[in-house]
């Protein structure tokens, strides 16, 4: 089960030490979302990080820096619509290096957000990853969560009925995800989760990631044993 961590929105003294600990613990995708930062400020911050981290970073803004710095990919908001690779088969996830390719050999990942089933369906097989939600009430945004018409039944059916090409697009649950509801995300059919509040809303961010990682691993063992 893939776990993605989304960065704090601004400057946070905990961030770089937590990133180091999370990468050491196995994190393979970190979304950098700094909506108020200029391209220059973001580039300066990115250049301050160890170069070995660059292929693990996915940018939400200032996408031109992806190619300039050799980063892992680009994330698009739902309303941005057009994606860079509309017809290509998505590339292998970073974990796919087990198949013989190193992350540095992979093309930049294309990720997007989706809040409705229609854009989610259109994205299957056309981008690498979709963050779909909110699935649960948000931890970091008060009052933000799934609406009364959240299409849980149709979503389960869609996730369960994907063919091989559509499964190449990882669908990740976002919004209120924590180690406590990780099993629900798996049961719904998600390929993984994207977390923010569960990691940055507690004092020990790296410890929170480790709990998520361990819970996901435990769920995987139970599934294989069933």
Q: Note the pLDDT of residue 86.
A: 43
| 187-215 average pLDDT score | 96
**pLDDT digits 0-9 by tens, 3-43:** 999 999 999 999 999 999 999 999 999 999 999 999 999 99
Q: Note the pLDDT of residue 105.
A: 55
96 pLDDT higher than 50: no
| 212-217 average pLDDT score | 95
Strand ranges (E), the chain? 2-6, 30-32, 57-59, 73-76, 109-114, 129-132, 170-174, 192-195
| Beta-ladder partners of 45 | none
**pLDDT digits 0-9 by tens, 71-92:** 999 999 876 654 544 434 445 4
Structure tokens at 115: 């809040």
**pLDDT digits 0-9 by tens, 146-197:** 777 788 899 999 999 999 889 899 999 999 999 999 999 999 999 999 999 9
137 pLDDT higher than 50: yes
DSSP string, 115-168: SSHHHHHHHTTTSSEEEE---S--SSSTT-S--TT--HHHHHHHHHT--HHHHT
**Whether residue 134 has a cis bond before it, omega within 30° of 0:** yes
* Closest C-alpha among 10, 95, 72 to residue 45: 10
Q: What is the 8-class DSSP label of residue 77?
A: -
| 94-113 average pLDDT score | 61
Q: Per-residue b/e over 75-101, b at no fewer than 16 CB within 10 Å?
A: bbebeeeebeeeeeebbbbbeeeeeee
Q: Note the pLDDT of residue 91.
A: 53
Q: How many domains does the chain have?
A: 1
Q: Note the pLDDT of residue 107.
A: 83
Q: Note the pLDDT of residue 29.
A: 98
CATH number at residue 128: 3.20.20.70
* Distance from C-alpha of 190 to C-alpha of 2, rounded to nearest angstrom: 9
pLDDT category of residue 98 using cuts at 50, 70 and 90: very low
What's the pTM value of the predicted model, to 2 decimals?
A: 0.87
* Structural domain boundaries enclosing 153: 2-225
């Amino acid at each position: 089960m893939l776990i993605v961590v989304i960065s704090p929105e601004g400057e946070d003294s905990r961030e770089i030490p937590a990133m180091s600990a999370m990468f050491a613990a196995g994190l393979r995708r970190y979304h950098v979302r700094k909506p108020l930062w200029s391209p220059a400020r973001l580039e300066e911050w990115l250049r301050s990080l160890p170069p070995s981290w660059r292929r693990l970073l996915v940018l939400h803004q200032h996408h031109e820096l992806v190619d300039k710095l050799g980063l892992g990919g680009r994330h698009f908001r739902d309303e941005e619509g057009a994606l860079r690779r509309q017809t290509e088969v998505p590339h292998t996830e970073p974990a796919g290096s087990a198949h013989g390719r190193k992350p540095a050999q992979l093309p930049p990942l294309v990720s997007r957000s989706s809040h409705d089933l229609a854009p989610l369906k259109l994205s299957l097989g056309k981008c690498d990853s979709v963050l779909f939600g909110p699935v649960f009430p948000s931890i970091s945004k008060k009052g933000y969560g799934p609406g009364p018409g959240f299409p849980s039944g149709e979503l389960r059916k869609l996730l369960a009925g994907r063919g091989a090409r559509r499964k190449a697009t990882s669908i990740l649950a976002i919004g209120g995800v924590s180690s406590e509801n990780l099993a629900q995300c798996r049961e719904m059919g998600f390929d993984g989760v994207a977390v923010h509040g569960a990691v940055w809303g507690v004092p020990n961010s790296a410890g929170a990631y480790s709990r998520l990682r361990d819970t996901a691993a435990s769920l995987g063992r139970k599934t294989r044993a069933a």
